[in-house]
Each structure stands twice: as C-alpha cells, then as structure tokens.
Chain A
Amino acid sequence: MTGTIGTGTTGIVLGIESSCDETGVGVVQVSSGGTLTLLADEIASSVDEHARFGGVVPEVAARAHLQAMVPTVRRALSRAGVRPAEVDAVAVTAGPGLAGALLIGLAAAKAYAAAWNIPLYGVNHLTAHVAVDTLEHGPLPAAVALLVSGGHSSLLQVSSLVTPLYPLGATVDDAAGEAFDKVARVLGLGFPGGPFIDRTAQEGDPDSVRFPRGLSGPGDARYDFSFSGLKTAVARHVEAQQRHGITVPVADVAAAFQEAVVDVLTTKAIRAATDRGIDTLLIGGGVAANSRLRAVAAHRCAAAGVHLRVPRPRLCTDNGAMVAALGAHLLAAGVPPSSLDIPADPGLPITTSLVGSSSSTTNRC
C-alpha cells in the first residue's frame, strides 16, 4: 500500500455497486494531488429479466447479482490492468436500495477486503452519485445536487464528499424515474420507461398539453417533488382520447409529460441554489441521462448564473465507478474505514455517507 491511513493516502480503490438491478464494479486511482482517474467501469445488468414484470423484481435482481459478482470484479481488474495486490481499498454501496441485492455486494466487498487485508468503505449510494462527477469534472465546490432515478428524487446540499450531505427536499410519492416507467406503460412503450419516453418525445410537441406541475403552488414545499398526480393526469388524458376513439398522439403526450417533469425538477433545483447562494448545480442518477433535462437545465442555469455539472450518461446511471470514486475521496482524506460487521441498510439516510467508520481493530480480519 502507498501512503498511510490517517494522513491522506493515495492508491487504487475497487468499488462495488449492487443496490438495484446493475452489478457494477469500478476501479479508480487517486494520486497524491487528489486527482481521480477512472481505470475500469464494468457492468452486468439484469434489466432484461425484469422487463416482462414491468419493474425490478428484488429476488430476480439478487439472483443475478450473485451470478455476476465475481466475474464482474475479475473483468474490472483485468480491464484496469490492476493486480489484486495493487488494490488499496474496497468501497461498496451499503444502502439505500433493495435489501437482498445490497447484501450480495456488501458480502463480496467484505470478503475481498478481508482476504487482501485492506480497508472497507461501506458508503451511501446517493453520495456516490454525487462523487462520480469528480471523475469527469474534477474537485467539487459547494453545490446543490439533484439526484433523480427510478429509486430516488432528492435535492441535497453538498459541502464536501467526506462530510454528511444535507437534505433539502425529496419526492413525497413516486420517484421521477418511476413516473417515467408508469407513463411509458400507459403509452405502450417499453421498460425502463426513461429512454423510451426520451426517444419518443423527440418527435412530439411538449406544449401540446399542459400537464400539472406537482407541488408548484405558492404555499407548497419549495424543494419537495410529487409525480403521482402527474402520472394520473397523463393516464386520464390518454384514456379520455381512447374513449372518444381518437388515436393517442403518443409522441406529443410523451413530450408534454417529460416537459412537466423537467420543468419541476429544474425550477426547484435552481431555486434551491439561488436561495442558498450556491453557484453550482450537479445533476445525477439515471434520469440525468434524459436529453431534455440536460438541455433545459443548461439553458436555465445559464440564465440564473449557476454553473451546471452533469456527468456523461454512462456515469449517471448506477455503476461501480461512482462507489470507487467516493471510496477514493474517503481514502485520500484518511477517513477511518468501516468495520466488517456493518449491515446492509435499505433505508440508509442521506445524512450517513459512510457506515460503521471505526479506527478500532474490528475493521481488519
């Protein structure tokens, strides 16, 4: 191992992600100046196995993680050109996510860390979504982060990657990505809904219908989201047209729905930044791959004088690189690692970035 724990360390971090349907393993190197380099980012996805169920089936995901875990680690190390003895720490998603899925990655990470006698970092999946951006855009200043995916919709304040994130707002019902899935189903498009809606909406008119913007009234929570009413409004609209024998203009409805989601997300995110005098907005999570969200956010941030950071789409969706990136920041900052008895926590609060950090000996085998 290079460097010394506790005084700031350089080295190579293996990151493991298994909170939903992607088995992700990334390898990140942190150099003495704190610069992060992505060496490998391997994914095995079980998404196709879930498509016919219209949503992720936890048991199907867990079985796929077990099959894919070790082969994906092997692929990542070989792609990175890194020998096992060169790995300095293992980072893993400890939560939030699906309990049975999280357990696979966590158990594997503990085994690798113990076998190689190196530190384990059990980290928060959402913090990792923020950390991944530093692989592409370098050190992160104080920022507001908008994290949107099939599982989460959160507005957070980030002061650093090694201190807890501060929650500003979240969805009160469906996650943004979940709304995409449900509306795609109403429109007879595929699963997961995000990419299908995005593609279909390119041909549609976003102003063809004005769907409701949830929680956007003057008395509503400034930073919270609600997508359940929007989803129902789209279904009612489609069903009314079907009842009257009108061919549903799928592209128009997709575009109008997407516009409503993007409008609310960008309005609230930029409002949070300007309210708090923060000049950087970071967007992450699977929905951040949406082309309309990226375009509208860029336009509105420019108008508001806010610097926008969105990682490339491959890094927005769940992956191991984001976990390795966060682990690299923790290693570089000399943060004590997690103990080997940490639990998987499906409801891990956003205020906990690192689970079971301890300088005692229980963190080594």
Chain B
Amino acid sequence: MLVLALDTASAAVTAGVLRLPPVDAPEVLAERVTVSPRAHGELLMPSVCSALAGAEVSMGELDVVVCGAGPGPFTGLRVGMVTAAALGDALSIPVYPVCSLDAIAYRAGAGSPLLVISDARRRQVYWARYDESGARVEGPHLDRPGDLPVTSVSRIAGVADVLELPVVPRVVPPGHPDPAGLLAVVAAAVRAHTPPGPLTPMYLARPDAREPGPRKRVTSV
C-alpha cells in the first residue's frame, strides 16, 4: 500500500510518502520536513507534491492518508487536517487520524517511561506520558511547563527548549512527528482496513471568546 503521511500540529510542516508492505516494516520513500511555524498554509501542499515527486508516486496511486490530529496550535493544525480530509475525499481513499504526540513517542521508542511534549504557545505545552512498553498512560493534556509530571519519567521527547523545568530528564529525539512515526501508530489498522475514526482535531482548549456584558452607554448618566 502507498501512504501519504502529513502533520502540521507543531512548528514543523511534515509530508512523506511511504510504502506499507503486508508484513514488513513501512519504508519511507520520500519526506519533506520544514520547520516554519507561521507558514503551514503556504508550505504543506507544495511539500506533499514534492514528496510525491521524490517518491515517484502519483496522487492517484495513493491508497491511504495518515494525518496528525494534534494536539497543536489551532491554525496550523487545521491546515493539515483539512488538507488530509480534502485529499481523502478527492481521491476517495480513507484518512486515518493519529495523535501527533503518539507519533513522536513511537519514534522515541519504548524501554523506559517517557514524556512527550509539544509547544502550545502562550507559555503552555501539550503533553502525554507513556510507560516502558510505549503505551500512552496519561494525556494528551494542556498545561504550564511547571505542572508537568517530569519526576515520573526518565526521558522527554518533543520540543524541549520551551521548558523551564526544575529537573529536566534526558532529552531524546525526535522533536517533531515524522512520517514513519505517524504511519507506525496506525499501521495495523491500515493493514486490516479497519475503518478510521472521525477526523477530529485535538484542541484541548475552548475558543478564547467571552460573552459580552451589558452594553456600555455612550452618554454619562
């Protein structure tokens, strides 16, 4: 099967084309990763096209789209989600959403407790905690860096430079989700043709909007 994997939940704009054999590990045919937090809308589609060209795969040959569903800063996250949804619709192929933090955790590997974090801006982070088997045991959540359970893990993956922590565990790669990690999370479901879950972004926060109070008078009473 030929898979397009994309993610815009972090500062990186990620697109990759992979071959998923029936049994063996997925093979990355081409990937394009650009770190540019404010240009997801401009970069994503050209990155997808460039990855397809690099893999010598045409749009019509794709069997599946895998898409990071966050959590991530809203505007960038939505670019990837709507692109994946539209490509899936246009090509009549299924789109599998993946927790972007799980994709990072998969690439960081199992073996010891792991914290995966991602920059949520406004001095907040998205995070999830994984046990030594690699299973997610907590999160994803949105918190201030000071509230992270850093003492309960031995490793931390994701972008670590936004943190001001009293104790920083060993920082391990990767810093962003990559195509291999994204596909790995759902490879079994894709192989089994399990129908994908709903393509819903993980915002973890309500829109920043307040209902107006009573109208202010323009004349002084």
Chain A interface residues (CB < 8 Å from chain B): 52-54, 57, 59-60, 62-63, 65-66, 69-70, 73-74, 84, 99-100, 103-104, 106-112, 114-117, 185-186, 232, 235-236, 239-240, 243, 340-344, 362, 365
CA distance A304 to B78 in the complex (A): 50
B41 pairs with A106, CB closer than 8 A: yes
User: Across the interface, which residues of B come within 8 angstroms of A69, CB to CB?
Assistant: 82, 85-86
- Of residues 53 through 81 on chain B, the ones whose CB sits less than 8 Å from some CB of chain A are 59, 74-75, 78-79, 81
User: Across the interface, which residues of B come within 8 angstroms of A117, CB to CB?
Assistant: 59
User: Across the interface, which residues of A come within 8 angstroms of B52, CB to CB?
Assistant: 365
Q: Main secondary structure on chain B at its contact with chain A?
A: helix
User: CB-nearest residue of chain B relative to A108?
Assistant: B86
CA distance A84 to B86 in the complex (A): 12
Additional 13 contacts, C-beta under 8 A, given A73-B89, A112-B90: A53-B210, A63-B78, A69-B82, A99-B75, A100-B75, A104-B82, A112-B86, A232-B218, A243-B221, A340-B49, A341-B46, A365-B48, A365-B49
Q: What's the least CB distance linking B198 to chain A, in Å? A: 10
User: Across the interface, which residues of A come within 8 angstroms of B87, CB to CB?
Assistant: 111, 114-115
Q: What's the least CB distance linking A84 to chain B, in Å? A: 6
Which listed residue, A63, A114, A235, touches B207 by the CB 8 Å rule? A63
| Interface size counted on chain B using CB atoms at 8 A | 37
A115 pairs with B45, CB closer than 8 A: no
CA distance A362 to B136 in the complex (A): 41
Chain B interface residues (CB < 8 Å from chain A): 39, 41-46, 48-49, 52, 59, 74-75, 78-79, 81-83, 85-87, 89-91, 201, 203, 207-212, 215, 217-219, 221
Q: Main secondary structure on chain A at its contact with chain B?
A: helix
A342 pairs with B42, CB closer than 8 A: yes
Q: What's the least CB distance linking A179 to chain B, in Å? A: 14
A185 pairs with B215, CB closer than 8 A: yes
A57 pairs with B45, CB closer than 8 A: no
